[in-house]
Each structure stands twice: as structure tokens, then as C-alpha cells.
Amino acid sequence: MKKNKIAIQGELGAYSHIAAESLYQNAEISTCATFEEAFKLAFDDPSVKIVIPIENSLAGRVADIHYLLPKYKLQIHGEYFQAVEHNLLCKPEAVMEDIKYVRSHAQAIGQCQNLINEKKLKAIISADTAGSAKDLAEGKDKSIAAIASELSAKIYNLKILKRNIEDEKGNVTRFLIMGKNIEQPEFIENKKFITSCIFRVKSEPSALYKCLGGFATNQVNLTKLESFSVKNTFDQANFYLDLEGHLEQPEVKKALEELGFHTETLDILGVYAASKSREK
């Protein structure tokens, strides 16, 4: 059986790796140093899909992704919500009293301030959580700990000093599954779908108001609308939008047609089944 080729940003043991393995069993995982490297890999090779974080319930959006979406125009094939549970990892021979420093991604450091302050640890910012665990395993200094996943501890043979050290529980990251090929599911009545797009408004008064009017008149619910600046200018903005519905639904089609009339550019990034995690 042919293995799925999945690219992630970060080292093995990252939360992207956990999400990828939850989605695709026995997948061939490629690790990338940057998000752009992962996007380019999928752009150059249609057989590769990427599993990329786009937003976190505590930290908000992953800013780099929004600029890569219009650049590479990969298609969104699905979404996945991954629980984030941080752990304090150390060398196998270390104990809590040995730890003076803690290394991790800036967001993970920010999400575990209570423990860091309680133990009076000095933070070392790294590129990603799993990379911090890998560096710790390769080094010899037992005064350094890392904040990373349980999978990272297993992969790099580290000890878990303390589990679930995040300040707030219920930390969740939303991931997008993306690839170069269009994979649009057939519309099925009573099944929930998400349609995602990026658009640029015309530089004129009430431009955004006009763009969004079609969603109101056609009663299409928007689940996300975010702006980010167009490169090298403050005069215009791109908008990332998620809506509930499928392109084949008449009301969605009419709303997007009206959106297209009032925009300079409009790119449909994908139509995909809504995650069951959205159900309350």
C-alpha cells in the first residue's frame, strides 16, 4: 500500500507531527525548517500534502501562514483540531532541582509562565517545541529542560518531569491539510462544510461593507474573517475568510459571486468537510 507523503514544519515530535499521524497512519513524514519550505515542497510535488497550523485557541493566528496562502495558492483539503498539552522534559539523569533553564518555542514559553515563574527558570527561545527537545537530547547540560509534547519525550529519550504544565487547559490548535491538487468533496445534504477564500478589497469607501453584504442577504454564516496587509503597503489589505457551506449550495454561490464583484482578487482556497470538533 502506497504511503501518504506528509510535510510538516518542525522536528519529529512537534504538534504538527502528532496531528499528521492522527490523520494519516504510517505516513511518510518530511520535516521542514520553515513553513515556506513545507509550502514549496507541496507546490513542487503534487503527491505531497502539508499539515500546517493556522490558529491557536490561546495565541491566535499563526501569522506567517496568511502570507503564504496567496503566494502558493495550495488547496485546503481538510481541517483538524489538535489538543496541545505541554510537558516539562529533561535529561534522563536530571531531577527538578537541577533545572535552571527552560527551552521552547516562544508561544509555549508564554503558555507555561506559571511553572516558569514558580521554579524561577530562565527561558531560552527556540524555533519549535520538538526542536528544543531534540537539542536537549543531543546536549550534555542537565540544567536545561524543554517544553514539548509527550511524543517528543519518547522520540528523543527524555524524561517527563511534569505533565500538562500549560497555564490554561483546553489549549487547541487548528491545522489545515493542504496540497496542490483540488480535492473538493461532493455536496451532501445535512453534512457541514467549510469554504475558505482570500480576497483583496478595492481601495474605495465602504469596500469591505459591500464585500460582506452578499453573505448577509443570502444568510451565509462566516466563522472567521481576518485581515493582513498587502506586502509593502498600508493602503490595502487582504482578507482570509471561512464560511459555513459548500460552493454547490445556491446561497453560497450567490454570496461569493457578489463578493467577487466588489474585490480586486478572489481566490477560493478550498471546500472541505467541517471538523466534528466544531460540533458543540
Q: Which residues are catalytic?
A: 173, 175
- DSSP structural state of residue 275: P
CA pseudo-torsion sign 260, 263, 269, 271: negative
Q: For residue 148, which of 94, 104, 95 has the smallest C-alpha distance?
A: 104
Q: How many residues does the chain have?
A: 280
Residue 82 identity (one-letter amino acid) = Q
135-142 — which CB contacts under 8 Å span 24+ positions? 135/103, 136/89, 136/90, 136/91, 136/103, 137/91, 142/90, 142/91, 142/93, 142/94, 142/98
Q: 3-class DSSP state for residue 117?
A: helix
Residue 101 makes CB contacts below 8 A (sequence gap 6+) with: 121, 122, 123, 124, 143, 144, 145
